[in-house]
A and B are shown apart, each in its own frame.
Chain A
Amino acid sequence: MSANNVWVFIQQDNQKIAEVSIELLCKAKELADQLHVETNGVLIGHQIQEEAKKLIPYKVSEIFCVEDPRLKHYTSVPYTKIIVELIKKHKPQIVVFGATTTGRDLAPRVASHLKVGLTADCTDLQIGDHIVGNKEYKDILYQIRPAFGGNIIATIVCPETRPQMATVREGVMKITPLDPHHKGKVTAVPFSLEEKDFPSKIIEKILEEKTVDLKSAQVIVSGGMGVGSRENFELIRQLAHVLGGEVGASRAAVDAGFVSKPHQVGQTGTTVRPKLYIACGISGSIQHRAGMDQSARIIAVNSDPEAPIFQIAHYGIVGDLKEVIPLFIKVFKSKN
Chain B
Amino acid sequence: MSYKIIVLIKQVPDTQNITGNAMKDDGTVNRAALPAIFNPDDLYALEAALRIKDEHKDTRIHVITMGPPAAGKVLKESLYRGADFTVLISDRKFAAADTLATSYALKCAISKIGAFDLVFCGRQAIDGDTAQVGPQIAEKLGINQITFVSKIEHLSKKEITARRSIEGGYEIVKAPLPVLLTFTNEHYTPRPSSAKKLMTYKNANFTTEESEYDESYIENKNLIKSVQTLLWDINAIRANPSQCGLEGSPTKVKKAESVLLKSTSIKLVENNEKAISAMIRELEADHTIG
Using a CB–CB cutoff of 8 Å, the interface residues on chain A facing chain B are: 73, 75-77, 80, 100-102, 104-113, 115-121, 130, 132, 142, 146-161, 199-208, 210, 219, 243, 275-276, 286, 289, 293, 296-299, 308, 310-319, 323-324, 327-328, 330-332, 335-336
Residues of B near A101 (CB, < 8 A) are 147-148, 164-167
Q: Are A331 and B280 in contact (CB under 8 A)?
A: yes
Bound-state Cα–Cα, A116 to B128, Å: 18
Given A76-B145, A158-B250, residue A314 in contact with residue B171 (CB < 8 A):
no
Across the two chains, which residue of chain A brings its CB closest to B132? A108
Residues of B near A201 (CB, < 8 A) are 173-175
Across the two chains, which residue of chain B brings its CB closest to A75? B173
Which residues of B, 246-290, contact A by the 8 Å Cβ criterion? 249-259, 261-273, 276-277, 279-280, 283, 287-290
Residues of B near A312 (CB, < 8 A) are 261-264
Residues of A near B290 (CB, < 8 A) are 336
Q: Are A328 and B276 in contact (CB under 8 A)?
A: yes
Q: Are B18 and A118 in contact (CB under 8 A)?
A: no
Across the two chains, which residue of chain A brings its CB closest to B282? A315
Residues of B near A77 (CB, < 8 A) are 144
Q: What 3 A-B pairs are tightest by C-beta distance, nearest first?
A: A117-B250, A319-B271, A149-B15
Q: Are B289 and A243 in contact (CB under 8 A)?
A: yes
| Interface residues as binary, B130-171 with A (CB distance below 8 Å gives 1, 0 otherwise) | 111111111110001111100000000000010011111111
Given A203-B161, A316-B266, A316-B269, residue A156 in contact with residue B254 (CB < 8 A):
yes
Bound-state Cα–Cα, A11 to B156, Å: 32
Residues of B near A330 (CB, < 8 A) are 273
Bound-state Cα–Cα, A97 to B176, Å: 27
28 pairs across A/B with beta carbons < 8 Å?
Answer: A75-B173, A101-B164, A104-B132, A104-B135, A105-B147, A109-B145, A112-B100, A115-B250, A153-B258, A156-B254, A199-B175, A203-B161, A205-B166, A206-B170, A276-B283, A276-B288, A289-B259, A312-B264, A314-B265, A315-B266, A317-B271, A324-B276, A327-B272, A327-B276, A328-B276, A332-B280, A335-B277, A336-B290
Given A109-B138, A316-B267, residue A120 in contact with residue B277 (CB < 8 A):
no
Given A120-B130, A201-B174, residue A293 in contact with residue B262 (CB < 8 A):
yes
Bound-state Cα–Cα, A316 to B259, Å: 21
* Chain A CB within 10 A, most for which of B15, B18, B289: B289
Q: Are B140 and A112 in contact (CB under 8 A)?
A: yes
Q: Are A112 and B266 in contact (CB under 8 A)?
A: no
Bound-state Cα–Cα, A153 to B258, Å: 6
Least distance between B204 CB and chain A CB atoms (Å): 32
Bound-state Cα–Cα, A243 to B171, Å: 36
Q: Are A202 and B262 in contact (CB under 8 A)?
A: no
Bound-state Cα–Cα, A98 to B121, Å: 22
Least distance between B137 CB and chain A CB atoms (Å): 8
Q: Are B18 and A109 in contact (CB under 8 A)?
A: no
* Residue B129 lies at the interface, judged by CB distance under 8 Å to chain A: yes
Q: A101-B165, A156-B252, A315-B266 are in contact. List 16 more A-B contacts (CB 8 A).
A: A100-B167, A101-B147, A101-B148, A108-B99, A108-B139, A109-B138, A117-B251, A118-B100, A121-B129, A204-B171, A275-B287, A313-B266, A317-B268, A318-B268, A327-B276, A332-B280
* Residue B98 lies at the interface, judged by CB distance under 8 Å to chain A: yes
Q: Are A200 and B175 in contact (CB under 8 A)?
A: yes
Residues of B near A111 (CB, < 8 A) are 100, 132, 136
Bound-state Cα–Cα, A335 to B280, Å: 9
* Residue B210 lies at the interface, judged by CB distance under 8 Å to chain A: no
Q: Are A205 and B167 in contact (CB under 8 A)?
A: no
A121 contact from B130, B173, B264, B277, Cβ within 8 A: B130
Residues of B near A202 (CB, < 8 A) are 171-173
Bound-state Cα–Cα, A232 to B134, Å: 43
* Residue B68 lies at the interface, judged by CB distance under 8 Å to chain A: no
Least distance between B255 CB and chain A CB atoms (Å): 4
Residues of A near B22 (CB, < 8 A) are 151
Across the two chains, which residue of chain B brings its CB closest to A275? B288
Q: Are B264 and A314 in contact (CB under 8 A)?
A: yes
Least distance between A153 CB and chain B CB atoms (Å): 5
Given A108-B135, A112-B103, A121-B130, residue A199 in contact with residue B144 (CB < 8 A):
yes
Least distance between A205 CB and chain B CB atoms (Å): 4
Q: Are B251 and A315 in contact (CB under 8 A)?
A: no
Bound-state Cα–Cα, A77 to B176, Å: 13
Least distance between B157 CB and chain A CB atoms (Å): 16
* Residue B36 lies at the interface, judged by CB distance under 8 Å to chain A: no
Bound-state Cα–Cα, A48 to B144, Å: 25
Bound-state Cα–Cα, A183 to B288, Å: 35
Given A148-B127, A153-B257, A293-B262, residue A76 in contact with residue B144 (CB < 8 A):
yes
Given A80-B139, A148-B18, residue A157 in contact with residue B254 (CB < 8 A):
yes
* Residue B224 lies at the interface, judged by CB distance under 8 Å to chain A: no
Bound-state Cα–Cα, A297 to B146, Å: 41
Q: Are A105 and B145 in contact (CB under 8 A)?
A: yes
Bound-state Cα–Cα, A336 to B290, Å: 9
* Residue B216 lies at the interface, judged by CB distance under 8 Å to chain A: no
Q: Are A158 and B266 in contact (CB under 8 A)?
A: no
